[in-house]
Amino acid sequence: MTTATAPITHISPGSALRHGFTLAGRAVTKVRKNPESLLDVTLQPIIFLLLFVYLFGGAIQGSTDAYLQVLLPGLMVQNIAFASLGTGMALNADITKGVFDRFRSMPIARSAPLIGAVLGDIVRFVVTLTVLLVVAVIMGFRVQTDPGRFLIAIALLIAFGLCLCWVSVFVGMLVKSPQAVPGTLVAFIFPLTFGSNVFVPSDSLPGWLQVWVDINPVTHLANAARGLLLGGDWVADAGWAFLWAIGIAAVFFPLALRAYRRRVG
Amino acid sequence: MSYAIEAEGLVKRFGDTVALDGVNLAVPPGKVLGVLGPNGAGKTTAVRVLATLLRADEGWARVAGYDVATQATAVRGIIGLTGQYASVDEDLSGTENLVLIGKLLGLSKADAKARAAELLAKFELTDAASRSVKTYSGGMRRRADLAASLVGRPQVLYLDEPTTGLDPHSRNEVWATVRGLVDDGVTVLLTTQYLEEADQLADLITVIDHGKVIAAGTPYELKRRTGGQSLQVRPTVAADTPAIATILRELTGIEPLVNTDAGLLSTPVDNPLLLSSVVRRLDEAGITADEIGLRLPSLDDVFLTLTGRTTPTTPVTEGSLA
Ligand SMILES: Nc1ncnc2c1ncn2[C@@H]1O[C@H](COP(=O)(O)OP(=O)(O)OP(=O)(O)O)[C@@H](O)[C@H]1O
Ligand SMILES: [Mg+2]
């Protein structure tokens, strides 16, 4: 029986968001069925944590315990940045598969798969932050502030990741294979995460590098996270980090959308 | 007259390849159009244009009156698509795939689940419903794909080689499903390399080659139009087949179709008097035949005459040149 319903001529932003959430649910189901897809956001943070704290901690900060306290908030930022690489990879892998043709032949918003992929990434962000925190707490890390500020820190980190992942979506729409996404983005992610005060205080660096480190959004966000988790000022740094994030999204969201449209038609 | 699917002058180029070179199509509501053509003819490209997945470089197409280029959303709201290559999510189970589609189409979770269960049962996938599609056999995937394209109860259904890779049982199931949908008023566009499939299902047939429509009409019209009639010989002894093929070739000037499984040779003929020549030549050669006669040509003959090629395979029987 064909039921004659009114034609769908336009998809409202509300429906687009609903489709996006449904597709984010798909991403979550896939993670649940295939937990090893989370290895990159679980194993890597642990390795970084152990490596830096026990190998370099004594040299950089004098004691591994003290170093763990200042390192962890920064490592959270670094891992969010790395986790955001996954969005472009996942989306690249997805659009080359037949299932994308099905989505495209259905009356759903063109942008829904994009929104779904990005929302689904919140799961990866939460997982990477949880793993880092749990291992760090076992190693002796303690949040010195209150739950309110802790939650603000988490929210800021995830917001930063959600803005940053448009860069990876953009690259993911330009390259041929998923593996090319991290390869291409290394040139972007490394200066961003290592050229910051996450691992070493900026005043230990040569002047030209200090200039970059001091304006780097990762430095600002790491400072804000330290303030929020350990106590101290955080508002100004959070503001700078937020502005940076908005700026990155303002540039890369339209670029990503255009590249996506061009790629999937 | 308004058509469920209508296209005119569709042109699609991929670099130097002209995949569609001015294709016209028209399918009345509730009818089945079979699109036939050899590999690379442009069948899939045509389906993708009609399903809003590709934009034609020239020409226009309308589905239920909606333009595929400018009213794509409306078109997507009424079509179902089973592409040539499976378009289900390998990592999800059969149920998860169909529920996902149901939810995207606006069904409640309960309705989506009920619809998924109903369709999985219809395609005999209930036992595999909770397994990842990755673990499905080729035929099961194909059926899951078909089920997926029916979740939204489409008015217009595109099936791009729906039975390729299916066993005869599953193929019959798919044919029965298509007939059931047509009874419900669904318009179907089906591409196939299997002439028998087109013969079984299609009300109308369009033959495409090199991106051009080279013939269109009802199966009956096509059979009438090409080669007039088909001369068929069924040898008593299979060993005589090559000798008979030689005689037919000498008399008609073209290579006859030899269907070993059915024990039948056939060739399109335009002069019915040829029949007596064949009988005489067989007599002279001392070859007996169980059956010699003239028929309306099969679609195999039509295809052979139109494209100068045999189809690679036919579903029930293997046709090959002698
Ligand atoms: N995305 C593409 N890029 C380049 N060429 C393409 C593309 N899609 C199709 N073609 C070319 O267009 C022509 C028609 O292809 P199409 O897939 O429509 O044929 P088909 O009739 O479906 O063939 P088959 O029976 O093998 O499925 C072929 O020459 C093919 O190589
Ligand atoms: Mg094809």
> For the segment B191-236, what is each residue's pLDDT rounded down to a tens digit?
988 888 888 899 999 999 999 998 899 988 887 776 567 888 999 9
Q: Chain A within 8 Å of B96 (Cβ-Cβ)?
A: yes
In a domain, B74, yes or no: yes
Positive/negative CA dihedral, B162, B166, B170, B176: positive
pTM of the model: 0.81
In a domain, B309, yes or no: no
Taking the CA of residue A22 and the nearest CA in chain B, the distance in Å comes to 7
Nearest CA among A107, A261, A8, A115 for reference residue B51: A107
Roughly how many angstroms between the first and final C-alpha of chain A, as a whole number? 32
Question: How far does residue B98's CA lie from ligand 2's centre (Å)?
Answer: 24
Residue B311 Cβ inside 6 Å of ligand 1? The answer reads no
Question: Is residue A217 a contact partner of residue A244, using CB atoms and an 8 Å limit?
Answer: yes
The β-bridge partners of B33 are B189, B204
Residues of chain B neighbouring A9 (CB-CB closer than 8 A): 71, 73-74
pLDDT in tens, B164-195: 888 888 888 889 989 999 999 999 999 988 88
In a domain, B36, yes or no: yes
- Residue B12 tokens, joined: 């699609």
The Cα B84–Cα B76 span in angstroms is 18
Average pLDDT over residues B138-161: 93
A265 alpha carbon, distance to own chain's centre: 27
Residues of chain A neighbouring B157 (CB-CB closer than 8 A): none
Q: Are residues B220 and B243 in the same domain?
A: no
In a domain, B302, yes or no: no
The confidence band for B317, taking pLDDT boundaries of 50, 70 and 90, is very low
Q: What is the pLDDT of residue A215?
A: 87
Is pLDDT of B93 > 70?
A: yes
Residue B83 Cβ inside 6 Å of ligand 1? The answer reads no
Q: What is the pLDDT of residue A95?
A: 85
Three-state secondary structure readout of A119-143: HHHHHHHHHHHHHHHHHHHHHCCCC
Q: Are residues B16 and B116 in the same domain?
A: yes
Nearest CA among A73, A122, A66 for reference residue A224: A73
- Residue A204 tokens, joined: 């230990």
Largest interatomic CA distance in chain B: 75
In a domain, B200, yes or no: yes
Sorted by sequence, the CB contacts under 8 Å of residue A43 that are 6+ apart come out as none
Q: What is the pLDDT of residue B227?
A: 55
Q: Which ligand has the shortest distance to the CA of B39?
A: 1
Q: Are residues B207 and B267 in the same domain?
A: no
A-contacting residues in B 119-148 (Cβ below 8 Å): 132, 148
Taking the CA of residue B180 and the nearest CA in chain A, the distance in Å comes to 10
Residue B45 Cβ inside 6 Å of ligand 1? The answer reads yes
Residue B87 Cβ inside 6 Å of ligand 1? The answer reads no
Yes or no, beta carbons of B90 and A97 under 8 Å apart: yes
Q: What is the pLDDT of residue B164?
A: 85
Q: Are residues B212 and B85 in the same domain?
A: yes
Which residue from B13, B18, B20, B45 has its CB within 8 A of the most atoms of ligand 1, so it is best to mutate? Answer: B45
B93 alpha carbon, distance to own chain's centre: 28
Q: What is the pLDDT of residue B318?
A: 35
Q: Per mean pLDDT, which range of A124-128, B286-290, B305-309 is the poorest?
A: B305-309
Q: What is the pLDDT of residue B138?
A: 85
Question: Is residue A36 a contact partner of residue B189, using CB atoms and an 8 Å limit?
Answer: no
Q: Calculate the average pLDDT of chain B.
A: 88
Q: Are residues B236 and B220 in the same domain?
A: no
In which domain, by residue range, is B43 found? 5-224
Q: Are residues B155 and B239 in the same domain?
A: no
Q: What is the pLDDT of residue B315?
A: 38
Nearest CA among B313, B291, B317, B289 for reference residue B303: B313
Q: Are residues B157 and B240 in the same domain?
A: no
Main-chain dihedrals φ then ψ at residue B254, nearest 5 degrees:
-130, 160
Is pLDDT of B296 > 50?
A: yes
Yes or no, beta carbons of B73 and A34 under 8 Å apart: no
- Element at B100 (helix H, strand E): helix B94-104
Residues of chain A neighbouring B71 (CB-CB closer than 8 A): 9
Q: What is the DSSP letter of B89?
A: -
Q: Chain B within 8 Å of A93 (Cβ-Cβ)?
A: no
- 3-class SS of residue B321: strand
Q: Hey, of B73, B95, B99, B115, which one would you mutate to test binding to chain A, going by the most A CBs within 10 A of its CB?
A: B73
Q: Count of residues for chain B?
A: 322
Residues of chain A neighbouring B141 (CB-CB closer than 8 A): none
Main-chain dihedrals φ then ψ at residue B81, nearest 5 degrees:
-135, 125
b/e map B137-150, b = 16+ CB within 10 Å: eebbbbbbbbbbbb
Q: Are residues B55 and B178 in the same domain?
A: yes
Q: Are residues B82 and B40 in the same domain?
A: yes
Average pLDDT over residues B73-80: 95
- Helices A235-264 + A85-95 axis angle, to 10: 10
Q: Which position has the token pair 């040898």?
A: B235
Percentage of residues of chain B with pLDDT beyond 90: 57
Q: Are residues B137 and B194 in the same domain?
A: yes
Q: Count of residues for chain A?
A: 265
- Residue B133 tokens, joined: 């599609």
Yes or no, beta carbons of A8 and B73 under 8 Å apart: yes
- Residue B297 tokens, joined: 């040509």
Please give the interface size between A and B, counted as residue pairs whose CB atoms are below 8 Å apart: 90
Question: How far does residue B168's CA lie from ligand 2's centre (Å)?
Answer: 21
- Residue B218 tokens, joined: 């009802």
- 3-class SS of residue B57: coil
Final residue of a structural domain among B206, B224, B242: B224
Q: Are residues B32 and B110 in the same domain?
A: yes
In a domain, B138, yes or no: yes
- 3-class SS of residue B185: coil
Three-state secondary structure readout of chain A: CCCCCCCCCCCCHHHHHHHHHHHHHHHHHHHHHCHHHHHHHHHHHHHHHHHHHHHHHHHHHCCHHHHHHHHHHHHHHHHHHHHCHHHHHHHHHHHCCHHHHHHHCCCCCCCHHHHHHHHHHHHHHHHHHHHHHHHHHHHCCCCCCCHHHHHHHHHHHHHHHHHHHHHHHHHHHHCCCCCHHHHHHHHHHHHHHHCCCCCCCHHHCCHHHHHHHHHCHHHHHHHHHHHHHHCCCCHHHHHHHHHHHHHHHHHHHHHHHHHHHHHHC
- Element at B35 (helix H, strand E): strand B32-36
Sorted by sequence, the CB contacts under 8 Å of residue A108 that are 6+ apart come out as A11, A15, A16, A19, B76, B104
The Cα B184–Cα B187 span in angstroms is 9
Roughly how many angstroms between the first and final C-alpha of chain B, as a whole number? 46
Q: Are residues B183 and B285 in the same domain?
A: no
> How many folded domains does chain B comprise?
2
Q: Which position has the token pair 């699917």?
A: B5
Question: Is residue B90 a contact partner of residue B135, using CB atoms and an 8 Å limit?
Answer: no
Q: Which position has the token pair 């269907």?
A: B259
Nearest CA among A90, A150, A158 for reference residue A126: A158
pLDDT in tens, B268-283: 787 778 888 899 999 9
User: Hey, whose CA ends up nearest to atom 12 of ligand 1?
Assistant: B19
User: Hey, whose CA ends up nearest to atom 8 of ligand 1?
Assistant: B45
Here the CATH number for the domain that contains residue B254 is 3.30.70.100
Positive/negative CA dihedral, B6, B9, B15, B18: positive
In a domain, B125, yes or no: yes
Q: Chain A within 8 Å of B294 (Cβ-Cβ)?
A: no
Percentage of residues of chain B with pLDDT beyond 70: 93
- 3-class SS of residue B45: helix
pLDDT in tens, B240-274: 999 999 999 998 888 888 887 778 888 878 777 88
Average pLDDT over residues B286-310: 77
In a domain, B319, yes or no: no
- Element at B264 (helix H, strand E): strand B264-269
The pLDDT tens digits along chain A (265 residues) read: 444 456 677 788 888 889 999 999 999 998 888 888 888 888 988 998 998 888 887 777 778 888 888 889 999 999 999 898 888 988 898 888 888 889 999 999 888 888 898 888 898 899 999 999 999 999 988 989 999 999 999 999 999 999 999 999 999 999 988 888 888 888 888 888 888 888 888 778 888 888 888 889 889 999 999 999 998 899 999 999 999 999 999 999 999 989 998 887 6
Residue A20's identity, in one-letter code, is G
Here the CATH number for the domain that contains residue B155 is 3.40.50.300
Final residue of a structural domain among B184, B208, B224: B224
Question: Is residue A98 a contact partner of residue A205, using CB atoms and an 8 Å limit?
Answer: no
